[in-house]
């Protein structure tokens, strides 16, 4: 392989400066100096037993290297050597996939050695690869043995990408590059021009966008499930509320029952403390009693001895006195009895005289009394009339009581009806409150999505007086969409610019709001509607759209101020958007003929776009409907019905209150009190009547007895008896006198001893009383002590059992958790009975509703958590997509724009037309691509580069010019194209060669390899072009005459010399 610099057009040749010796290089380049090479350029290539070569070494130039030679001599082998030697895989060559297939036939190993220009002030990079048939592969960097991974890393530092077709285009990949679609071309361009970071950003956008779409699809499916589950649970809420209320009361009952044993136990402890106090008091009392009885016992024993002596003496004298006393008493008794009898008879005489006078007076008084009773009895009302009146009053009172019972039952019924209506009123008020809370929730959503619009909204609310008219906005808060499906259509149709815009109604209000925007630096859109009143008719009558199942336009499905609708019609064009059904898109043939440019179905949005080129064909873009996040409307019809029901119930409630007041009449109670008073009066009269009759009978009987007495006969009998008894009494008194003399002598002595004894007995009795009293107390205290001990043991046993039961019901450490309940057992019992009554009053129709509700509620909660997490993931992913796109899209647009400038310039230079632009209409980043449009004749229109439109040669021209357009933008140290001119006509081949020369031989540009089997005559060359001619085969000279110029040798060879 010989290298020769081409002569300039003037015919003179350029000198070849010597290349300095560098580290790791084995041979000097005889033609160039290192300083002319771009870092990473190929300085030297050495091959041994590789494909067609036994051994070869060549030195490429720093600019354009044109590698020529007959077919089969090994041009493409150089391409393979560069690819495999720099860490590339065999697959990028489009040939064999096994490295050992590149070993020359008949040999066991092959060698590739490549020397690359090092970076500034750095040694050159020498890479060596040894390929063996036993599948072993040896890699070296310099003299250091390494592996492919480290070689690839070292090469990548120079931005060498042998796998990028825009940088390294082997012969067998030329056709595939020309047929490369726009998507793949974009990715290869990114790798070649933008580097790995730009390509990775693109791939990240593709991956994240796909992830967002998948997550959004999953989220929509979960939302449908969530709505279904919520609807199912709403039907059970009433029954669940009753069940929860009943269970709540049952739990309260259980908690009260758990605390009740502790209150009972506490009462028992109080009782034990009382018994203990009584025991302590009893013990003290017993000790006090025992301290008193012991001394009294000793003193009583001494007095008993003295009394016994006196009793013997007194006893003897008493016997004598007794005998005399008995005699005296007998006689005195007789005398006294006689005297009493005499006095009695005298009293009778006197009494008889007094009785005579009294009888007469008493008879007169009794007669007057009887007459008085009879007069009063006559003055009383007639007994029969009173009896009749009494019976009538009794009947009337029974009637009144029956009426009162009926009124009480009616009032009870009214109260029950009032209670039911009151509960319905509260339920409706809660439903209305939930509907009224919708606007607040939508405002919170606004704050999350656009804080600056929310801030402006708050400022307008606080400063209403600063405006002439109402300022509408943000628009998101001014629109109510009752139908959730329509809400998704409207939200997808309105750009954020108008979703959060503000609409003043006068020029002055517009200026006030604009001043606030400039002063506060908020980014808001202000729509000037100071001259409203535009007309926005529908493009096609709805009657003509019914065949396509389109029944509404988008401006008909929401409620708002007319000014808001005018803004949306004028700025967004919602009056031009139709709303169809599933039937609209079910028939694909019908779908194609829908006369609207934009319409919705329940699942998709359809947008038709007419091309500006060619036949102006129409393309339809189908986009999936996103769920609404802001336009979740209030059902105004339901709200109106709820308000109407509420008003009717309140009116009915007032009527029941009035009916209740009328039913609670006080007339019957007053009448009953009056009847009771009359009945008491009648009873009093009857009592008086009976009393007078009884008194008259008694008085008449007494009067009859008075008339039966005879006083004079009784007086005579009494005087005779008195005389007899006086004579007998004189005899008895004389005998008594004699007895008394004897009695007085003995009695005097006896009295003296008796007085002494009495004194001692009194003392003894006193002591004995004290002793007995204290002994009784002592016994009482001892008995009390025994009883208290038994009672204490009994109550202690009861207390222990109570505590065991209480702990079993409720551990003591949990007792503070029940402080909410009364500590008084009576109050606790009342509370318990109250809850039991409430439980009995609640009837459960579906016992399994609660379990079903709770199970579904857990599912709803899990779905809501998953949805919130997915929404957050989507929001984060969209934010990340926005951030990545923010740095990737401007850069790729800049690159495509520069490529387009160069591509158009190069095509203009060859008298043709071409342009390159980024195809970014598809929302999926993976479908974005580089679209190439070309024309090779002036009369033609620019058409997309396509194998069905352009010839193979034309495609090769476009491909080569596209690669040349990348030349100024790539940072790679060399570029290689293998036989790109295959299939070109001479005219195109010459034009392409000229463009390659012009593009690659400028200053500060990297190395270029152009592989070709032939060159046209009379091409334009520059001194920067290096021609590498391959002469390979069995007929090789033993030594090439390097001292001669290659051109001279070739010329002489052509002349046969």
Reply yes or no on whether the pLDDT at 174 is more than 70. Answer: no
Query: Which parts of 483-610 are beta strand (E)?
Result: 552-553, 578-579, 598-600, 604-610
Give pLDDT, residue 1055. Answer: 55
187 burial via Cβ count (<10 Å: 0-12, 13-18, 19+) = buried
Over residues 912-939, the mean pLDDT reads 87
Cα–Cα distance measured from residue 592 to residue 620, given in angstroms and rounded to the nearest whole number? 9
At which residue do the structure tokens 């005899």 appear?
Answer: 731
Lowest mean pLDDT of 119-123, 536-540, 1048-1052, name the range. Answer: 1048-1052
Reply yes or no on whether the pLDDT at 616 is more than 70. Answer: no
Give pLDDT, residue 637. Answer: 57
Cα–Cα distance measured from residue 310 to residue 759, given in angstroms and rounded to the nearest whole number? 11
Are the CB atoms for 1032 and 11 separated by under 8 Å? no
Whole-number average pLDDT of the chain: 79
Cα–Cα distance measured from residue 990 to residue 171, given in angstroms and rounded to the nearest whole number? 19
Residue 89: strand, helix, or coil: coil
Are the CB atoms for 964 and 937 separated by under 8 Å? no
Q: What are 207-232's pLDDT values in tens digits? A: 888 888 888 888 888 888 888 877 76
Give pLDDT, residue 667. Answer: 63
Give pLDDT, residue 771. Answer: 77
pTM of the predicted model as reported, rounded to 2 decimal places: 0.39
Ranges 84-88, 191-195, 332-336, 377-381, most confident: 84-88
One DSSP character per residue, 690-731 reads HHHHHHHHHHHHHHHHHTT--HHHHHHHHHHHHHHHHHHHHH
User: Measuring CA to CA, how many Å separate 630 from each of 206, 479, 558, 654, 983?
Assistant: 28, 10, 13, 41, 60
Give pLDDT, residue 19. Answer: 38
Who's near 1001: CB < 8 A, 6+ residues apart?
Answer: 63, 64, 1022, 1024, 1025
Reply yes or no on whether the pLDDT at 81 is more than 70. Answer: yes
Q: What are 383-399's pLDDT values in tens digits? A: 777 778 777 787 877 87
Reply yes or no on whether the pLDDT at 945 is more than 70. Answer: yes
Reply yes or no on whether the pLDDT at 82 is more than 80. Answer: yes
Reply yes or no on whether the pLDDT at 633 is more than 60. Answer: no
- Looking at the DSSP bridge assignments, the partners of residue 1008 are 64, 975
Lowest mean pLDDT of 69-78, 164-173, 470-479, 862-871, name the range. Answer: 164-173
CA atoms within 13 A on the CB side of 762: 6
If residue 1009 lies in a helix (H) or strand (E), which one and from where to where?
A: strand 1007-1012
Please report which confidence band the pLDDT of residue 15 belongs to, taking 50, 70 and 90 as the band edges: very low
Please report which confidence band the pLDDT of residue 146 belongs to, taking 50, 70 and 90 as the band edges: very high
Give pLDDT, residue 17. Answer: 37
Over residues 265-289, the mean pLDDT reads 85
Reply yes or no on whether the pLDDT at 324 is more than 50. Answer: yes
Q: What are 339-374's pLDDT values in tens digits? A: 877 778 777 777 776 766 776 777 777 777 777 777
Instruction: Retrieve residue 196's tokens.
Output: 């790995």
Give pLDDT, residue 113. Answer: 95
Give pLDDT, residue 459. Answer: 93
Instruction: Retrieve residue 66's tokens.
Output: 């044109």
Torsion of CA 747, 751, 757, 761, to 10 degrees: 100
Q: What are 456-468's pLDDT values in tens digits? A: 999 998 999 999 9
Give percent above pLDDT 70 in the chain.
85
Instruction: Retrieve residue 61's tokens.
Output: 């130039």
Over residues 627-653, the mean pLDDT reads 73
Residue 60, preceding peptide bond in cis (omega within 30° of 0): no
Give pLDDT, residue 579. Answer: 92
Reply yes or no on whether the pLDDT at 915 is more than 60. Answer: yes
Q: What are 673-721's pLDDT values in tens digits? A: 888 887 887 788 777 777 878 877 787 777 666 655 555 666 677 777 7
Cα–Cα distance measured from residue 59 to residue 1028, given in angstroms and rounded to the nearest whole number? 9
Residue 508: strand, helix, or coil: helix
Give pLDDT, residue 847. Answer: 62
Q: What are 973-992's pLDDT values in tens digits? A: 888 887 766 667 777 778 77
Please report which confidence band the pLDDT of residue 8 belongs to, taking 50, 70 and 90 as the band edges: very low
Please report which confidence band the pLDDT of residue 140 belongs to, taking 50, 70 and 90 as the band edges: very high
**Position with higher pLDDT, 811 vs 145:** 145
Reply yes or no on whether the pLDDT at 587 is more than 50. Answer: yes
Give pLDDT, residue 24. Answer: 43
Over residues 609-636, the mean pLDDT reads 72
Residue 464: strand, helix, or coil: helix
Reply yes or no on whether the pLDDT at 2 is more than 50. Answer: no
Reply yes or no on whether the pLDDT at 649 is more than 80. Answer: yes
- Looking at the DSSP bridge assignments, the partners of residue 141 are 127, 144
Reply yes or no on whether the pLDDT at 929 is more than 70. Answer: yes
Give pLDDT, residue 65. Answer: 92
Over residues 115-127, the mean pLDDT reads 90
């Amino acid at each position: 392989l010989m290298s020769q610099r081409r002569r300039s057009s003037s015919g003179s040749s350029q000198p070849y400066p010597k290349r300095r010796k560098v580290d790791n290089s084995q041979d000097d380049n005889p033609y160039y100096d290192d300083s002319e090479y771009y870092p990473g350029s190929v300085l030297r290539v050495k091959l041994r037993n590789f494909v067609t070569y036994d051994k070869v070494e060549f030195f490429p130039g720093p600019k354009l290297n044109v590698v020529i030679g007959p077919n089969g001599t090994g041009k493409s082998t150089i391409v393979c050597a560069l690819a495999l030697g720099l860490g590339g895989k065999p697959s990028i060559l489009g040939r064999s996939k096994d490295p050992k297939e590149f070993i020359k036939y008949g040999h066991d190993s092959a060698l590739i050695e490549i020397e690359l220009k090092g970076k500034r002030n750095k040694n050159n990079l020498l890479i060596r690869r040894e390929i063996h048939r036993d599948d072993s592969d040896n890699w070296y960097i310099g003299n250091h043995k390494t592996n492919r991974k480290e070689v690839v890393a070292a090469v990548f530092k120079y931005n060498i990408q042998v796998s990028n077709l825009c940088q390294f285009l082997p012969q067998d990949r030329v056709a595939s590059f020309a047929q490369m679609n726009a998507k793949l071309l974009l990715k290869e361009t990114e790798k070649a021009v933008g580097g790995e970071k730009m390509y990775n950003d693109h791939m990240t956008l593709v991956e994240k966008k796909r992830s967002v779409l998948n997550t959004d699809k999953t989220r929509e499916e979960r939302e449908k499930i969530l709505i279904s589950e919520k609807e199912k649970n709403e039907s059970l809420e009433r029954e669940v509320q009753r069940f929860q209320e009943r269970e709540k009361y049952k739990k309260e009952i259980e908690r009260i029952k758990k605390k009740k044993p502790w209150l009972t136990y506490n009462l028992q402890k109080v009782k034990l403390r009382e018994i203990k106090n009584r025991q302590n008091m009893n013990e003290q009392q017993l000790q006090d009693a025992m301290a008193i009885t012991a001394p009294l016992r000793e003193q009583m024993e001494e007095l008993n001895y003295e009394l016994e002596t006196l009793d013997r003496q007194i006893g003897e004298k008493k016997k004598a006195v007794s005998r005399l006393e008995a005699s005296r008493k007998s006689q005195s008794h007789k005398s006294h009895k006689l005297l009493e009898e005499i006095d009695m008879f005298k009293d009778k005489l006197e009494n008889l005289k007094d009785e005579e006078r009294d009888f007469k007076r008493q008879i007169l008084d009794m007669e007057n009394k009887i007459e008085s009773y009879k007069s009063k009895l006559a003055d009383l009302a007639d007994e029969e009339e009173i009896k009749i009146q009494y019976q009538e009053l009794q009947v009337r009172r029974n009637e009144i009581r029956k009426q009162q019972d009926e009124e009480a039952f009616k009032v009870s019924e009214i109260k029950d009806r009032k209670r039911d209506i009151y509960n319905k009123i509260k339920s409706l008020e809660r439903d209305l409150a939930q509907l009224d809370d919708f606007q607040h929730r939508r405002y919170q959503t606004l704050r999350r999505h656009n804080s600056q619009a929310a801030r402006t909204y708050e400022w307008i609310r606080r400063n209403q007086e600063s405006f002439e008219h109402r300022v509408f906005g943000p628009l998101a808060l001014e629109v109510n969409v009752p139908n959730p499906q329509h809400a998704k259509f409207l939200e997808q149709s309105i750009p954020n610019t108008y979703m959060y815009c503000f609409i003043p109604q006068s020029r002055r209000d517009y200026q006030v709001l604009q001043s606030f925007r400039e002063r506060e630096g908020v980014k808001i859109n202000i729509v000037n509607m100071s001259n409203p009143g535009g007309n926005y008719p529908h493009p096609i009558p709805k009657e003509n759209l019914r065949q396509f199942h389109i029944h509404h336009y988008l401006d008909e499905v929401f409620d708002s101020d007319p000014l808001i609708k005018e803004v949306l019609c004028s700025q967004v064009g919602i009056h031009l958007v139709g709303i169809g059904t599933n039937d609209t898109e079910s028939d694909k043939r019908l779908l194609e003929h829908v006369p609207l440019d934009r319409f919705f179905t329940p699942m998709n949005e359809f947008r038709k776009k007419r091309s500006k080129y060619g036949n102006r064909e129409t393309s339809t873009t189908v986009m999936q409907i996103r769920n609404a996040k802001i336009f979740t409307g209030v059902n105004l019809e339901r709200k109106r019905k709820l308000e109407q029901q509420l008003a009717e119930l309140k009116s009915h409630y007032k009527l029941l209150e009035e009916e209740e007041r009328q039913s609670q009449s006080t007339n019957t109670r007053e009448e009953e009190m009056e009847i009771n008073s009359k009945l008491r009066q009648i009873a009093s009269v009857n009592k008086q009547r009976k009393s007078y009759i009884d008194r008259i009978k008694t008085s008449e009987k007494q009067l009859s007895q008075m008339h039966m007495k005879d006083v004079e006969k009784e007086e005579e009998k009494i005087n005779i008896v008195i005389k007899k008894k006086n004579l007998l009494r004189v005899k008895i008194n004389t005998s008594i006198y004699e007895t008394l003399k004897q009695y007085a002598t003995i009695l005097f002595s006896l009295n003296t001893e008796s007085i002494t004894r009495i004194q001692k007995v009194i003392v003894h009795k006193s002591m004995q009383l004290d002793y007995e009293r204290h002994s009784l107390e002592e016994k009482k205290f001892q008995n009390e002590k025994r009883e208290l001990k038994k009672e204490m043991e009994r109550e202690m046993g009861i207390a222990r059992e109570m505590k065991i039961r209480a702990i079993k019901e409720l551990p003591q450490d949990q007792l503070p958790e029940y402080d909410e309940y009364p500590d008084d057992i009576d109050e606790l019992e009342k509370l318990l009975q109250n809850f039991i009554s409430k439980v009995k009053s609640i009837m459960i129709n579906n016992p399994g509703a609660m379990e079903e509700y709770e199970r579904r509620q857990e599912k709803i909660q899990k779905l809501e958590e998953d949805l919130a997490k997915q929404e957050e993931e989507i929001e984060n992913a969209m934010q990340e997509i926005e951030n990545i796109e923010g740095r990737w899209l401007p850069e790729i647009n800049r690159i495509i724009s520069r490529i387009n400038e160069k591509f158009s310039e190069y095509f203009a230079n060859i008298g043709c037309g071409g342009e390159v632009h980024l195809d970014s209409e598809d929302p999926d980043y993976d479908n974005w691509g580089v679209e190439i449009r070309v024309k090779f004749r002036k009369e033609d229109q620019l058409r997309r580069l396509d194998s069905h439109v352009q010839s193979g040669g034309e495609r090769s021209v476009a491909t080569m010019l596209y690669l040349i357009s990348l030349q100024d933008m790539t940072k790679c140290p060399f570029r290689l194209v293998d036989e790109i001119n295959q299939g070109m006509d001479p005219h195109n081949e010459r034009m392409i060669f000229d463009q390659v020369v012009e593009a690659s031989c400028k200053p500060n540009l990297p190395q270029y390899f152009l592989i070709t089997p032939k060159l046209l005559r009379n091409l334009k060359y520059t001194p920067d072009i290096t021609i590498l001619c391959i002469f390979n085969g069995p007929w090789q000279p033993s030594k090439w005459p390097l001292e001669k110029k290659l051109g001279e040798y070739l010329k002489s060879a052509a002349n046969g010399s």
